Structure 1
């Protein structure tokens, strides 16, 4: 059976255009107002997997419509894609606060529309398949909190953070630690080389990612209703479901701030470690090239001295030297040839010391 898409738009032309694009592959239901859309949903005759919603409509606008839809548990998992003639960050934040998961700007491009609908359908399918597993995981997390207490989660993070050797593993640990408090959360860690996002949910919707990236420059701790934004420079975290209990909420804010303080320090260490690995790799390559070039040069010098000895032996008789003089000259050349080889051997000792230093640095980096 085809997936159902509900399109809500007061503009008949836009409504028909979107419907025509999607009706080839999906079961499309059209609605010309927010009031009509809610009526259709509540009637039980329509159970869409994706809703495409015009932001600006007379009467009940798209934001109000979205809020009402999302308040109904039957449609909480349905992705709502806003369509708007405005492309401002304020408009996108309004859409995110209303409950939308994605955003498109009019005029809608067919390829973009189909791509976003397919992405939303994939999310819906993944959400349905993961519901039971997520419920069990949340119950397990809540049981652990009850048995061990909130502070054990912080201690666990402190201990495990030293085992994190990548930005990705650190991001996962932060998210799982916050989830240990029963908090739905998303996080972005940024370095000069990469930006890593993680979430306790199935995925980070594009609009949520954009909003979180925008809010990273806001004040350090900012609470908006049940949402909490924590900004620690290179780390920004969004908490989506703070408890109503103000005392517990205060404790969790303190725990989360402590975790991010520690995470910031660990992120710096990981970044430094990665940079040291890059420098170490470059050093090893340089040492290898230097040793290769030195070997080639030594062999060339030896060959030059050998050629000199051969040429002297072949031509000494032409210079009218006595046998004794010839022997003195040959011994002198051989003497300085041996001195040249001795200098190369001393250089080899220095090469070994340099390689030993590089190996010690490598051991330190791998053990960090």
Structure 2
């Protein structure tokens, strides 16, 4: 777990609360203002920084901005501690580089849980940075391809063969590596978000911003970051060149193409999953119907046997009556036959219901087959389309 946490706050009571909350969990060092916090950061290089916003002298925003501009401290996760509850305050915190934001007052369990997430986030960043060299080599190869549309079509071909989100995200993120952009992508799959990042982990504030703006307009600019939204995929570009109007315009024209392709891929994956679920439901329904038919067949055979025996008994009784020239009471036999006929009627009703179930399953099966044929035809058309494209 985190070895060292630096708390920067001008309120001694807050320091006391933090120390009590994290006692035995990690080591705490305290700074009473922003200047002291910067000095202690450079001296001790803490794993996580807890930072108040409103302080005398440097504000928390100023301290965070200074930390993120320093090569030696820019990767330390910063969590703002503030009584400000508005989303705009969170957005401002994210804009200056914070990774999380907790509202005062807070309890020990919440603070520990947030620190665990941030520590794992930093560890993930360290692991992912080891892959930067590999990504840069991929970028050099990608840069040899000519033209943006050529690279887009290359991604289209790659994404077509991606059968899971991990593979799809690797192809997707590789598209942005040659552009020197740090991005986060989220796939909105079955009412939940699946997050992936390129050069670092996905911090809690990034997840919150993407979730908050999921249903916003297509392009959302937040400081130097931009979110691009599609129904099934959203992209956060953390270092969008907003001040470079030409490059910014080029990216705004280019990125919707890859996002639209990715959006359709996620839709296709959802439909495929639905088809698999439908096929499983059909198999289960057929198994249930077979069990019902077997059970009904046993019951029908048993009822038929009883019916034959009762007919035989009735026939013997009639013959015996003729021999004795006696009018025997046949009510019992007639009553038994009537009960047996009711059993036959019930069995016929059960069989009618089973036939109805078979009809429903057959219709579902036909729908599934039509869907699969449609997908196969679309896939073939897609293959033919790509065969006609010459990448130059």
With the shorter chain as reference, the TM-score category is 0.7 to 0.9
Q: CA RMSD in A?
A: 3.4
Shifted more, 23-32 versus 355-364: the winner is 355-364
CA-CA distance at 1:260 after TM superposition:
0.9
Gaps of 5+ in 2: 323-343, 380-392
Separation in structure 2 between the aligned mates of residue 265 and residue 2 of structure 1, nearest angstrom: 41
Shifted more, 180-189 versus 99-108: the winner is 180-189
**Number of the residue aligned with 1:271:** 270
CA-CA distance at 1:217 after TM superposition:
2.5
Alignment of 1:184-199 (within 5 A): 184-199=182-197
Separation in structure 2 between the aligned mates of residue 130 and residue 166 of structure 1, nearest angstrom: 20
1:11 aligned onto 2:11: yes
Instruction: Answer whether contact 1:191 1:271 (CA < 8 A) is retained.
Output: yes
CA-CA distance at 1:14 after TM superposition:
0.9
SS in 2 for 1:90: helix
Q: Aligned pair in 2 of structure 1 residues 257, 50: CA closer, same or farther (>3 Å)?
A: same
Separation in structure 1 between the aligned mates of residue 159 and residue 109 of structure 2, nearest angstrom: 43
SS in 2 for 1:51: strand
Q: Aligned pair in 2 of structure 1 residues 227, 358: CA closer, same or farther (>3 Å)?
A: closer
Separation in structure 2 between the aligned mates of residue 89 and residue 6 of structure 1, nearest angstrom: 25
Instruction: Answer whether contact 2:53 2:61 (CA < 8 A) is retained.
Output: yes
Separation in structure 2 between the aligned mates of residue 217 and residue 357 of structure 1, nearest angstrom: 36
Q: TM-score, normalised by structure 1?
A: 0.80
Q: Aligned pair in 2 of structure 1 residues 180, 274: CA closer, same or farther (>3 Å)?
A: farther
CA-CA distance at 1:361 after TM superposition:
6.4
**Number of the residue aligned with 2:284:** 285
CA-CA distance at 1:71 after TM superposition:
0.4
Alignment of 1:85-96 (within 5 A): 85-96=83-94
Alignment of 1:1-368 (within 5 A): 3-22=3-22, 24-41=24-41, 44-131=42-129, 133-149=130-146, 150-166=148-164, 169-179=167-177, 181-224=179-222, 226-243=224-241, 246-320=245-319, 354=362, 357=366, 360=369
Q: Aligned pair in 2 of structure 1 residues 269, 138: CA closer, same or farther (>3 Å)?
A: closer
Separation in structure 1 between the aligned mates of residue 116 and residue 308 of structure 2, nearest angstrom: 81
Shifted more, 237-246 versus 106-115: the winner is 237-246
Separation in structure 2 between the aligned mates of residue 145 and residue 225 of structure 1, nearest angstrom: 29
**Number of the residue aligned with 1:334:** none
Separation in structure 1 between the aligned mates of residue 84 and residue 283 of structure 2, nearest angstrom: 54
Instruction: Answer whether contact 2:9 2:55 (CA < 8 A) is retained.
Output: yes
SS in 2 for 1:7: strand
Q: TM-score, normalised by structure 2?
A: 0.75
Q: Aligned pair in 2 of structure 1 residues 3, 158: CA closer, same or farther (>3 Å)?
A: same
SS in 2 for 1:45: helix
Instruction: Answer whether contact 2:184 2:195 (CA < 8 A) is retained.
Output: yes
